[in-house]
Amino acid sequence: METRDSLRTLARSRPFVALWSSMFVSTIGTGLLLVALSVAYYQRSGEALAAGLVFAAQFLPLIVLMPIATRLCDRLPTRTLMVRLDLVSVVASLGIGVAFGAAFLPVFLLLVARGFLEMTTKSARGVAIKTYLPDELVERGNTLLNSAYFLGSTAGGLVGGMVIGRVPVVVVAALASVGFAVSAACCRALPPAPAPGSGAGVASGVWRRSLGVLRRDTELTRAFSYLVATVVLFQGVNQIARVWLPLTWLGTPASGAAWLEAVSVSGIVAGMVLVMVGLPARWRLPTRLLFALTAGLMLVPFATHRTVPAFASYFVYTMVFEIVYLVAFGVVLARTDQGDLPAVMVLFYGVAFSGMTVTVIAVGALTDRYGLPAVLLAVATVALATVVGTERRARRAADRAAVVAPPDIPQGARPS
């Protein structure tokens, strides 16, 4: 289907418009709440750790809660699940606002709950894309849906940074809860659909079930590996670089971080547009080469102390890593059966974002000691090792499949 026709079809699709709107407003609420809280705790304590724990609380416990998220995505109709998750997020957000004036522990626990709700909602949206859209629109619809996430995160983060200190945290939390409530209303507009999971799938553990799905399909395993590694390595590095690059390496004023954030989001949007429009065949590179290219581009901004070329090269870096992310995500959605999608989506979000949080903590600590350029050389080495390991496993799996199912030999022929 041509790009213009597919975009017109998506714009006229009531389920897709509802999903996009839900993603956009709920992500505004999430970004608003997290950025405001991190700034507020930093201002209160003067410690970066307190601000960092706001984000760590969202992701570190998720890998433990993946089986629960999978069961929810399996057993409940997708529309019902997303509406309920958003309504619980309203309560959790208001609870965070009320608890902020007391101790950090209840806020931390509520942030853990919010992280679980966020992961499960994202997984449910991945299921919903495949539920409500025809197969030929799944990849393009997923790409366009991601634009709602980044636009909402940017808008929420900017508003959160502007209002904190001017209004109490409880007011910020109330504003965030409005976003979750509107998201629930958007999800309510989706048409009814049955729960995607089968009884056999629900009985299996999320690890055994999702890894079993991956083992059956070499291309799915390869795409899933690059998808996870892109979030863990490149998006993890972005969390540190978007502050360290302008303020420490380039020596810009505080506004430099905001400008680099705008450059980063612009690169991500450009990557989305290129994936949606589609590059000419002669310009397309295999995912493994795009992934390796991203590892190299990650180092380029640190080849100069001049702001414009550093920002321009960072734009290219974020654009290419977004292309890798979306291409790999599209393959995962296209090659995963509907009944297995809840487990695979939950596994991705749990492993990828837990790993990203570990990367952020490790890169941040090492950067304080050695500087970010030296740390990025180590990250690039890990990225290249990931390519080698992923491709080697894929070749071994293909060789095993060829042994199990050898090609037919014509009658009368004899192998040489």
CB 376 within 8 A of CB 299: yes
For the segment 112-139, the average pLDDT, to the nearest whole number, is 86
Residue 115: exposure state from Cβ atoms within 10 A (0-12, 13-18, ≥19): buried
For the segment 390-396, the average pLDDT, to the nearest whole number, is 90
Distance separating alpha carbons of residues 99 and 253, to the nearest angstrom: 34
Average pLDDT in the chain: 82
Nearest to 332 by CA among 231, 185, 248: 231
Length of the chain: 416
Distance separating alpha carbons of residues 16 and 190, to the nearest angstrom: 9
pLDDT of residue 279: 65
For the segment 161-188, the average pLDDT, to the nearest whole number, is 88
Q: Is 204 left (phi over 0), alpha (psi -120 to 50) or beta?
A: beta
CA 394 to chain centre: 24
For the segment 221-235, the average pLDDT, to the nearest whole number, is 93
Distance separating alpha carbons of residues 409 and 192, to the nearest angstrom: 50
Cα 344-345-351 angle, rounded to 5 deg: 85
Contacts of 216 (CB under 8 A, 6+ apart): none
Tell which wins on pLDDT, 394 or 343. Answer: 394
* pLDDT tier, 255 (very low <50, low <70, confident <90, very high otherwise): low
Is residue 48 over pLDDT 80? no
pLDDT of residue 174: 93
Q: Which of 113-122, 197-206, 298-307, 364-373 has the lowest mean pLDDT?
A: 197-206
Contacts of 347 (CB under 8 A, 6+ apart): 66, 206, 207, 210, 211
For the segment 261-286, the average pLDDT, to the nearest whole number, is 78
The label of the residue with tokens 């083992």 reads: 215
For the segment 188-217, the average pLDDT, to the nearest whole number, is 71
Is residue 141 over pLDDT 90? no
* Tokens found for residue 153: 């995160």
Is residue 58 over pLDDT 80? no
CA 331 to chain centre: 15
| Side chain identity, residue 281 | A
**Exposure on the CB side of residue 269, measured as CA atoms within 13 A:** 12
Neighbours of 401 (CB within 10 A): 11
* pLDDT tier, 204 (very low <50, low <70, confident <90, very high otherwise): very low
* pLDDT tier, 414 (very low <50, low <70, confident <90, very high otherwise): very low
* pLDDT tier, 199 (very low <50, low <70, confident <90, very high otherwise): very low
Highest mean pLDDT among 26-35, 83-92, 123-132, 249-258: 83-92
For the segment 387-415, the average pLDDT, to the nearest whole number, is 69
pLDDT of residue 416: 34
Q: Tell me the CA distances in angstroms from 297 to 72, 157, 234, 315, one per residue in order.
A: 39, 26, 10, 10
Q: Tell me the CA distances in angstroms from 129 to 71, 137, 400, one per residue in order.
A: 18, 9, 33
CB 386 within 8 A of CB 210: no
Four-point Cα dihedral 325, 326, 327, 331, nearest 10? 100
Beta strands in 32-88 (DSSP E): none
pLDDT of residue 201: 43
pLDDT of residue 374: 94
* % of the chain exceeding 70 in pLDDT: 85
For the segment 152-174, the average pLDDT, to the nearest whole number, is 80
Q: Which of 196-205, 213-222, 245-254, 273-282 has the lowest mean pLDDT?
A: 196-205
pLDDT of residue 205: 59
pLDDT of residue 179: 93
pLDDT in tens, 338-369: 778 777 887 887 788 888 888 877 887 888 78
User: Which DSSP state fits 167?
Assistant: B
Neighbours of 374 (CB within 10 A): 12
- List phi, psi (to 5°) of 167: -130, 155
Q: Global pTM?
A: 0.72
* pLDDT tier, 207 (very low <50, low <70, confident <90, very high otherwise): low
Listing DSSP states for 304-371 in one string gives -S-HHHHHHHHHHHHHHHHHHHHHHHHHHHHHS-GGGHHHHHHHHHHHHHHHHHHHHHHHHHHHHHH-
| Side chain identity, residue 187 | C
